[in-house]
Structure 1
Amino acid sequence: MWMRKQKNKFFNMKASADEKSADVFIYGEITKYAWEEYGEVSSITFKNELDELGDIEVINLYLNSPGGSVFEGITIHNMLKRHKAKVITHVDGVAASIASVIAMAGDVIKMPKNSMLMIHNALTYAWGNAKELRKIADDLDRISNSSMQSYLQKAGNKITAEKLQELLDAETWLSADEAFEYGLCDEVLEENNMVASVSHELFSRYKNVPEQLLKQQNKPFSALEIAQRQKITEESKANIAYLNTILGGMYE
């Protein structure tokens, strides 16, 4: 029997014992895979699980992601932004591309000194005639503008639209201190030992990946990191795997 390649969820959620707070982990690539062949897409399952957490007061959002589907990411950002709970974003390693937009949903954003944000304009793979390609370019401009508003809303008066556009055009990797300077981070913490869960294949999408991140891919994990990753992997495997994508393929 022919089987499609399975995909695990990129997120996990867990309520605290007193059900007043919850931890939401987004580790790895943000995808748009369905539960079943004709099932619900990831943003809907994300909403369903978020609703199941109940009347929580605080969401701790942990990020270590290279980005992924722009539409899924914007939807998740908006879900978290309008949730009545206080959202505290923790950038454990890297919040790149659309993952950095999700980070902006935090009422408070915390970054260890060795973590990073990467911001850039929306990307996609395109095929078609001149008219179709011009439409795709216009669509990308609209998507990039949507993400830009998320950054500006968080940054307040710490960055101008002109400066932000310059950073987006350049595909900029921001350290925690730089993110703080631009208003995209509220607290800079001591360094942690998390390494970016980003493969060479995913890094290859981007032009300006810092050398230290490339080196980290081959760095051995500590016992604590291994335990954390095993726990997340086990929780992911307990869920029904995602299968084929049913939406279009724009990435950021």
Structure 2
Amino acid sequence: MLFSLVSFFLCITCTNAFGPISRPAFNSHIRTGLNALDYSDPVVSEEFTKVQGLTFEDVETELGDLGIPCPPTMNDFDIRMMLVEVRMRSNGTMPGTEKKKREKKASYSNKFEEMLYTKPNIEKMYDEFRENGNNNDLNAMIDYINDKELAITRYGATYQNIFDQVDAAITAKVEVTSPKLDFSGFPSNMGEAALEMTFGALGAVKSINCQPNDDGLTLYGTVEFEEIDVAKVCMKQYDGMDMGLGTVIKMDPVQ
């Protein structure tokens, strides 16, 4: 049967990952649009079975931790189905939805955004904090990446464990597990043809695409080699290469 309930899609997404730390990571404002949740769907039914095993107080607490109040006009079943929807949207299992891969950008608005899109371990930390409702840890992580000194002054030793995790996530060596690499920092005057020849000197190139960065001075794009070993050699040779004038080549494995 179809069950209509208040859509909480925006309740479980980060309201503004780049805002002040006083702003919670979840928006407690309830939208009034209705959304149909098909209880006959096996995935929905499975999640409801899990929620059904909780006490009402547990359900209320879990929603409350996400900043979502339980309207007094809602009955027990409706509130449990509300939690089902929240969980499924958060986990990316909501029918018709899926977690989308964050595509790298040509430029970023701040340091945190750059790390989120270019460092897989930072992305993993961010998603885990957000999905688990760890708002304080999430905000501490964002502030620390954007301004370490200010974050340390603001938080003291309270979140040192989070700061240590961030440092480890940023410096962690990313393993090359496919023949495809994202790149940036090569001079724009090389053009795609010259860049393909440069990569081709290491081994056979299967495909390549690139375009100018917003600065107009460098290129970014993706290259795929015929063999993964060639990608490893390319990563080792070019990642971190200083091109002068503050430009550094970045090579990131595409998992």
Mark yes or no: TM-score above 0.5.
no
Q: TM-score of the superposition, structure 1-length normalised?
A: 0.26
Bigger relative contact order, structure 1 or 2, given CA contacts below 8 A and separation 6+? 1
Larger radius of gyration: 2
